[in-house]
Structure 1
Amino acid sequence: MATALQAGEGTAVESFWLWKFLGRLHPLAVHFPVSLLLFAAFLELFTLGKFAHKLRPGINLLVLAGVGAALFSVVLGLLLANIEDYGGTTLNLHQWTGIATAVLGLVVLYFMNQVLNKKQWAKVKAYRTSLFITALAVSVAGHFGASLTHGEEYLTSVLPWNEDAYSPADMDIDLVAFEEDGADMSEEKQVKLVGQVRAVFAHSCYNCHSAAKTKGELRLDQKELVFQGGESGPVIVPGNPGKSELVRRIKLPKSHKDAMPSKGKSLSKDEIALITLWVEKGAPWPDAADKESVFRVADLAPRKPNLPSGKSGLSNPVDIWVDEYFIQNDLSWKNPVDDRTYLRRVYLDIVGLLPTPEEYKKFEEDDRPEKRSIWVRQLLARNDDYAMHWMSFWNDALRNDYTGTGYITKGRYAITDWLYTSLRDNKPYDQFVKQLLNPDEKSKGFIEGIRWRGDVNASQVTEMQAAQNVGQVILGLNLKCASCHDSFISDWKLEEAYAFANIFADTTLEVSRCDIPIGKKAGTKILWEELGEIDSTASRPEKLQQLAEYLVQPANGRMYRTIVNRVWKQMMGRGLVEPVDEMDNEPWSQDLLDWMASEFVENGYDLKSLIYTIATSRAYQQPSKGFDDPMDLADEDFVFEGVVRRRVTAEQFSDAISQFIHPVFEKEELKYDPFELAAAEQQNLSFARASLVANNGFLKALGRPNREVVSTTRDSQASLLQALELTNGEILNGTLAKGAEAWKEKYRDGAIIVHETYRQLLGREPHQNEFKVAMEAIGENPEPSDIQDFFWAILLLPEFQLIY
């Protein structure tokens, strides 16, 4: 709620209208220095080789206008801040970065004058440096300004993984139940009523009326502050909604200047009615209500529901639970996919490779009733292929890479050898996590994070990185908001995030809110104290050992639900809970998730056993379902029907080409080689697996993330960058050209090349019309360029690029 509240007319001191009018010109005027100075800095890049460039007069004019606009904007901004009802730390940051921009602008003008008028060419470098710094400063000031007007998460909230899953329907507002109660409403009903009111405040008001940002000196995040009101007095008159300014404002039309909230979605009719009813009932707020969360909080403890009796033909426990879900949602089982589709799917999911034509044939001819289960076990026994494939999944999550920021300066440590060995040996997951949290030299890279050069934001010091990353990857918990201020999307508080970060620190960290120290140090605590107490006086190694022991205990059901959910999504294309980093969200089947997590613990934390259970389920063998809009996968009304159709990953795409056409990456490009040469030859490793090579433009275009941050989900949608790379990329073009030469030498005949391409890349023979079109394209005696074009056409087919 972005507009200041006033308890009644005449209570606020009115400023002279002209100053108000000029102050409100600030949002308009501030866009000029942002655009002008940024454009000037951009054009300056074109003059680096020659200062006396033809662009110089235009740059000079942009700089003069930009600095002048910055000074003017600062004056108007100070008027606005002192007359209107803005407050909080974000305002302070915006104000001082804006002033700093204006001062830096004067520095730019000074050096520009020295160079242009006094011909002191030695100061060109100082002029350019100050200009670029000023452009950066005006961008930062603009960011904080946008946070003031639109909320701190204005940009990031629209991203799929940050989308707020809340809606009024989530609260199940039952106004009738509250209306029926008279003045003697029970304390239980009072707690429920104010709990729902607080949920509305949290989702619609905290962006502007909380500790991080306080407009009109009004905060709605604590009981005593709600009733205290804002700069103009109380906003709630208990028992009298008609005299409560809060109620008046939320009922105003969206277009009204006093309407609340002024940014974002208006409150729904039910939400308005709820708050009105609450005030009418006397605005009850029992002390017990403060112990209740306004957000959904998943249980920490494990839970293993009793497995229902299965139907005939359903022996896998996953299918028994899915059948219960299907019955509840009036869904029916479909026939399992055919052998070719299943084999391709399970090969790509377990070892990341395509089956060979010989393997397709052998699988088709296998007449054993349990052949699919048998082949899954055989795939899981291919330890090195399994490890090379799942390396990509874990490298993304643990932000481990082979090159990049920090490795040269020793500000970052690779865990590649430890990770590969752990996957190859199928290390139990509890031991896997313990060695990440209480590491030796080989596994320390995850919690050590990246030591960025120079000063960093308080929320990005390595100790806080460790807290955030452990929370996200191991516990499915978003601590990033709470690392800067009390979270708007959960109950986690700033001091709780710092207390958790202190476990990873050599000394006690000073708490900073929005990068400003508050003069206080947090304690040292695990996020859920019922798991154990951390000795705050212990050394860092001792604290890490305690943390590792506490987190992996079976009592921490959340940790095991998180990994089960991640593996389920990797195999099925959509998690039981979405996003996978928000494990407090409601799963589409709580029973299935809880049962699988408990079974995972009882089976010795065996990841391969978990994969086997999923891969042999009838649910996994259902026909895939495509989604035109990826946002539908995150929808709260998502209905599970089977595997989600998805695009092959960058590594799977590369390895398939390497298998059958020509190696995309040579062995010399391996950044990690797990084999001695003899062993590699024995395993027919004739090419470098893409998971073991450094990132490059080709892999980035196909979706491999920058591993400087945790990445637990890859976008399966095609992109413009991918299209450009697949049509004009140097790596793919060169690989196909070499492959075409080799195929021409090996097969020679056009008809054979067509048949082999379909057999090897698609696992089938071409249809009659496909063969005819292909032969018309390449001819009986094709040139290598014709074969190259044919390869390219097949690789772009959905049949090749999608996992059906």
Structure 2
Amino acid sequence: MKYFLTLSILLALVASVCEADNVVAPAARRFTDPASQDVPDFQKHVVPLLGRLGCNSAKCHGSFQGQGDLRLSLFGFDFASDHRSLNGEASSETGTRLSVQHPERSLILRKPTAQVDHEGGKRFAPGSWEHQLLIRWIEAGAKGPPRPTVAQEPPADISAADRKFFRGSVQPILEDHCFECHGFGASKGNFSLSTKAALLQGGDSGPAVVPGKPEKSLLVKAVRYSDEHLQMPPSGKLPDQHIATLKQWIAKGVPWPAGSAAPQETGATLTRLEYEPAEILFHSAGQTQQLRVIAVWQDGTREDVTCLTRFQTNNDAVVQVDRDGKASSTGSGDTHIIARYDNGVAAIPVLRPYPVAAESPPAESPQPTVASPHPIDQRVNAKLAKLALTPSDICSDSEYLRRVSIDMTGTLPTPEEVSTFLKDSRPDKRRRKVDELLQRPEYAAWWTNKLCDFTGCNPQSIRSLLEVALEEGYVKASSWYDWIYARVQRNQPYDELVAEMMLADLADPGDGMPYFWTRQSLKEPKDTAMSVAHAFLGIQLQCAECHKHPFDRWTQSDFNDFGRFFDSVTETKRRSASPKDQQLRLLRSRNIQLQAGDDPRKPLVDWMRAPDNPWFARAFVNRVWAGYFHVGIVEPPDQFTPANPPSNPQLLDWLADGFVANGYDMKWLHRQIATSETYQRSWKPNATNRNDRRNFSRAVPRRIPAEILYDAMKQATAADDKQRDVRSNLKRRAIGHLSMRMAGTHAMKVFGKPDRSINCDCERVNEPTLLQAIFTQNDPLVRMRIADSGWIIDIEDAQEASQPLNTNSLIDQVWLRTVSRHPNQAERQRALQHLQQSNTMAEGITDLLWAMMNTKEFLLNH
């Protein structure tokens, strides 16, 4: 009997640990086992369960106003606040939220089991593992997160009433709205709430409070938002009752009980999420795979958290996943399942090869005969092999010339250029053409235009110290464009270009470009932080200003830390003599110590340019790749998040590493992409890759960007002797200086040119619309362009002078000017018939030109 009892105790002790891999058993098993004495942890188990049930979502108790009389932090990232809310008094007459004395009477159990009315409906059944987890937690005292460690001060001589007032009314306000910036070890503006003495000392702006005099206290002034330069908290003005409480506290003399300092961060810290299997490979519809998610904590503990994880598919046409992590194959392709637990996000790859249609003729499914030695092709082809995707054939010479000319230089090739290229028999003529295009001013012009998109060069937003007319905005925007153009043209390393832009100073007569900093949209350091993160790191920080986004890594603390780098950047004649914070923290990286007179932007730029920066080089190469393929390896290109992983990580790594190793050489990057077989593939699909749009097995036709299309219409209608001038006169090109003055015009809006007013690559729209078709067919601008065509006028003049006209040559010119190829026999025959039926040759050619400018082949890059 003694042996059996001992054995039972040992089995109970190890029941929480999986023998095979030393992983703590899942909560669904641990807290339903009568032999287990484990108690659920509020952070590790209770809050994730509430998240899985949807309780802290934006549609329920996680909304700003809460639901009913209960408000939880959005997505459950404020454990202390959530614990206070759950322990608060409910206004309902049906019971209390938590009753340690009578756990089964707790509303947190009765409402989700539908024992009392619950607007959210039944979330779990009585006796389920969810029910048992919560009831075991309540029976054990419903403990919250560990009490924070605080700096102790000598006992304060305050009354019991004042102590209760501070603990119950003042401290919750400070914890919810102030500790993010001035607690947990943070001291924004050199202001800390670590002790009462620190509170009285204040920060850069002076003492925060004057005991007994709330109207003279900066704290009251800040929370009232009465001064546009001093508004706290930055996430929004406090409710009036909170402001009244703080005033009452200051009027009382700022009673501060011993041990009430701002906490230092404590509690469990999640290191990472691991998952099994590392990759899911399906072979047929209906196949299933159970996922397993393991949380690895800072203390080394590993726990199976599958039952507490929230799962979501990035593409339900490829895979679906249920709440328990069971994945089911629904179609061919590749995607990711996103697993979320605590502040961790994991992306689990899912692949299912595409089937080859048995009835397809072999010609439609060509197999590559020789493996390409190009590093890009090797990485792309490796992914295609896993998906059983056969890449399309290499495109024709005319298709390649038009495609690369548009993508690299924003310009159609001239008819003469097309003819010369088609006659060239050298095997390396495509590589030679790439080298030639990279030397043209149009290359620098178009990619300067792209950089202006990312960095926000907007004539209407650039301002000086005084209000200025829009004309000055045009002048400054053009200067901005010229500044970037000069560096792209001479192929200045990208990291140096960014460094000069980031460190520019209006007071410095050097070669910097200060207008990036003088935009109206950058009124606050937080605005600059979001702009810099978007432009140079390919990440979005907007959500983190108010809360941690469930699919991203950034917290409010990360957002505030990053914003402090720009606190000292002011639009004055002289930069601040010293940074406002002596210690700054880089995004998920190290702390930076600053001295008086230091420019905090300098260490930030050094960190961005470092070879091991995880975003800087990747963001740029991904945007350039998207410029050639209309889809990024990370798509959208400015959404580098754990929940949006690259479609081909090996490809992105190679491009980024090579870009850095080659000294951030932009032309090296363009050359590598444009000379790869991947870029040269035809748009024509085969039996396997018809539905593939993310693995680069074929070219995907995409509409020509607004500026290029505007210029292309000018090129197509220009007189023969004006073709080169139209192409090279950048002051009259929409991809050049004209771009600034055309911003906001009807033509540019119709075809999706961005205003450059928001931090989002999505502002440029390249999708075709019905309005665009109406524009190209009927808009006066298009009709005027054709009616006043220098080429058509030359034909009319030749007719009036009775000069002979070569009909076939004119037909060739129509096709060469618009779609950069010769017409096929059927097209030539139809064109000849139309010209024979026209009143004059000029009229017939005008009709053909208009018709070709309205074809998909002209409007799309393929």
Pick the TM interval, shorter chain. 0.5 to 0.7
State yes or no: 1:600 paired with 2:656. no
Partner of residue 259 from structure 1, selected from 107, 110, 119: 119
Alignment partner, residue 683 of structure 2: 624
Question: How far apart are the structure 1 equivalents of 2:657 and 2:407?
Answer: 23
Q: CA deviation at 1:651?
A: 1.6
State yes or no: 1:288 paired with 2:350. no
| SS across alignment from 2:788 | helix
Question: How far apart are the structure 2 equivalents of 1:369 and 1:475?
Answer: 39
Alignment partner, residue 528 of structure 1: 587
Q: RMSD of the alignment, in Å?
A: 4.5
Question: How far apart are the structure 2 equivalents of 1:506 and 1:559?
Answer: 23
Alignment partner, residue 567 of structure 1: 624
Partner of residue 134 from structure 2, selected from 276, 279, 296: 279
Please show how residues 98-109 of structure 1 align to structure 2 within 5 Å. Answer: none
State yes or no: 1:712 paired with 2:756. no
2:625 maps to amino acid: W
Instruction: Give per-residue Cα distances to partners, 1:423-477, cap 9 Å, x unaligned.
Output: 111111111221121114565445415236xxxxxxx624322111111111122
Alignment partner, residue 475 of structure 1: 537
Alignment partner, residue 732 of structure 1: 782
**Higher relative contact order by CA 8 Å / sep ≥ 6: 1 or 2?**
1
Aligned 8 A contact 1:534 1:546 in 2: no
TM-aligned CA distance change 1:587 to 1:334, over 3 Å: same
Q: Higher mean Cα deviation, 607-616 or 283-292?
A: 283-292
Question: How far apart are the structure 2 equivalents of 1:603 and 1:187?
Answer: 55
Question: How far apart are the structure 2 equivalents of 1:329 and 1:240?
Answer: 57
Instruction: Give per-residue Cα distances to partners, 1:683-705, cap 9 Å, x unaligned.
Output: 95398221221222212211111
Q: CA deviation at 1:786?
A: 5.0
Question: How far apart are the structure 1 equivalents of 2:131 and 2:431?
Answer: 60
Partner of residue 437 from structure 2, selected from 379, 394, 402: 379
Question: How far apart are the structure 1 equivalents of 2:137 and 2:717?
Answer: 75
| SS across alignment from 1:691 | coil
Question: How far apart are the structure 2 equivalents of 1:298 and 1:558?
Answer: 18
Aligned 8 A contact 1:577 1:587 in 2: yes
State yes or no: 1:504 paired with 2:566. yes
State yes or no: 1:399 paired with 2:448. no
Instruction: Give per-residue Cα distances to partners, 1:33-82, cap 9 Å, x unaligned.
Output: xxxxxxxxxxxxxxxxxxxxxxxxxxxxxxxxxxxxxxxxxxxxxxxxxx
Instruction: Give per-residue Cα distances to partners, 1:240-269, cap 9 Å, x unaligned.
Output: 99766456655779xx983339xxxx99x9
Partner of residue 744 from structure 1, selected from 795, 806, 811: 795
Question: How far apart are the structure 2 equivalents of 1:575 and 1:505?
Answer: 33
Please show how residues 765-776 of structure 1 align to structure 2 within 5 Å. Answer: 765-776=822-833
State yes or no: 1:323 paired with 2:381. yes
Aligned 8 A contact 2:55 2:61 in 1: no
1:464 maps to amino acid: K
Question: How far apart are the structure 1 equivalents of 2:649 and 2:128?
Answer: 32
State yes or no: 1:219 paired with 2:270. no
Alignment partner, residue 417 of structure 1: 482
Aligned 8 A contact 2:583 2:591 in 1: no
Aligned 8 A contact 2:377 2:676 in 1: yes
Higher strand share: 2
Question: How far apart are the structure 2 equivalents of 1:238 and 1:566?
Answer: 56
Partner of residue 850 from structure 2, selected from 788, 792, 795: 792
| SS across alignment from 1:542 | coil
Q: CA deviation at 1:718?
A: 1.5
Q: Higher mean Cα deviation, 197-206 or 714-723?
A: 197-206
Q: CA deviation at 1:312?
A: 5.0
Q: CA deviation at 1:298?
A: 9.2
Q: CA deviation at 1:609?
A: 0.8
Please show how residues 231-250 of structure 1 align to structure 2 within 5 Å. Answer: 231-232=89-90, 235=97, 245-246=107-108
Question: How far apart are the structure 1 equivalents of 2:681 and 2:344?
Answer: 32
Question: How far apart are the structure 2 equivalents of 1:600 and 1:214?
Answer: 48
Alignment partner, residue 205 of structure 1: 57
Percent identity (aligned):
25
Instruction: Give per-residue Cα distances to partners, 1:191-226, cap 9 Å, x unaligned.
Output: 876685476478961465459544424214222333
Aligned 8 A contact 1:360 1:763 in 2: yes
Aligned 8 A contact 1:319 1:617 in 2: yes
Higher helix share: 1
Question: How far apart are the structure 2 equivalents of 1:194 and 1:615?
Answer: 53
Question: How far apart are the structure 1 equivalents of 2:729 and 2:516?
Answer: 33
Question: How far apart are the structure 2 equivalents of 1:591 and 1:354?
Answer: 33
Aligned 8 A contact 1:241 1:280 in 2: yes
**How many matched pairs?**
570
| SS across alignment from 1:533 | strand
Partner of residue 461 from structure 1, selected from 523, 532, 541: 523
Alignment partner, residue 701 of structure 2: 645
Question: How far apart are the structure 2 equivalents of 1:643 and 1:239?
Answer: 67
Alignment partner, residue 307 of structure 1: none
Unaligned runs of 5+ in 1: 1-173, 300-309, 453-459, 510-520, 627-631, 668-679
| SS across alignment from 1:225 | helix
Please show how residues 30-429 of structure 1 align to structure 2 within 5 Å. Answer: 178-181=27-30, 182=33, 197=49, 200=52, 205-206=57-58, 209-210=61-62, 212-215=64-67, 216-220=69-73, 221=76, 222-228=78-84, 229=86, 231-232=89-90, 235=97, 245-246=107-108, 258-260=118-120, 279=134, 282=137, 287-289=267-269, 294=342, 312-382=370-440, 384-402=441-459, 406=463, 409-410=467-468, 413-414=476-477, 415-429=480-494
2:734 maps to amino acid: A
Structure 1 length as normaliser, TM-score?
0.61
TM-aligned CA distance change 1:620 to 1:682, over 3 Å: closer
1:343 maps to amino acid: L
Partner of residue 748 from structure 2, selected from 699, 705, 711: 699
Question: How far apart are the structure 1 equivalents of 2:859 and 2:784?
Answer: 20
Aligned 8 A contact 2:448 2:485 in 1: yes
| SS across alignment from 1:690 | coil
1:288 maps to amino acid: A
2:71 maps to amino acid: L
Aligned 8 A contact 1:437 1:548 in 2: yes
Question: How far apart are the structure 2 equivalents of 1:640 and 1:190?
Answer: 46
2:775 maps to amino acid: E
Aligned 8 A contact 1:446 1:466 in 2: no
2:268 maps to amino acid: A
Partner of residue 502 from structure 2, selected from 429, 432, 437: 437
Aligned 8 A contact 1:195 1:289 in 2: no
Question: How far apart are the structure 2 equivalents of 1:187 and 1:586?
Answer: 36
Alignment partner, residue 689 of structure 1: 733
Question: How far apart are the structure 1 equivalents of 2:528 and 2:853?
Answer: 40
| SS across alignment from 2:679 | coil
TM-aligned CA distance change 1:724 to 1:423, over 3 Å: same
1:742 maps to amino acid: I
Q: CA deviation at 1:419?
A: 0.8
2:773 maps to amino acid: A
1:547 maps to amino acid: L
| SS across alignment from 1:472 | helix
TM-aligned CA distance change 1:504 to 1:766, over 3 Å: same
Q: CA deviation at 1:793?
A: 1.6
| SS across alignment from 1:348 | helix
Alignment partner, residue 712 of structure 2: 656
Question: How far apart are the structure 2 equivalents of 1:620 and 1:718?
Answer: 22
| SS across alignment from 1:525 | strand
Unaligned runs of 5+ in 2: 1-22, 147-266, 273-340, 348-367, 572-579, 686-690, 800-804
Q: Higher mean Cα deviation, 644-653 or 786-795?
A: 786-795
Question: How far apart are the structure 2 equivalents of 1:342 and 1:240?
Answer: 76
TM-aligned CA distance change 1:599 to 1:461, over 3 Å: same
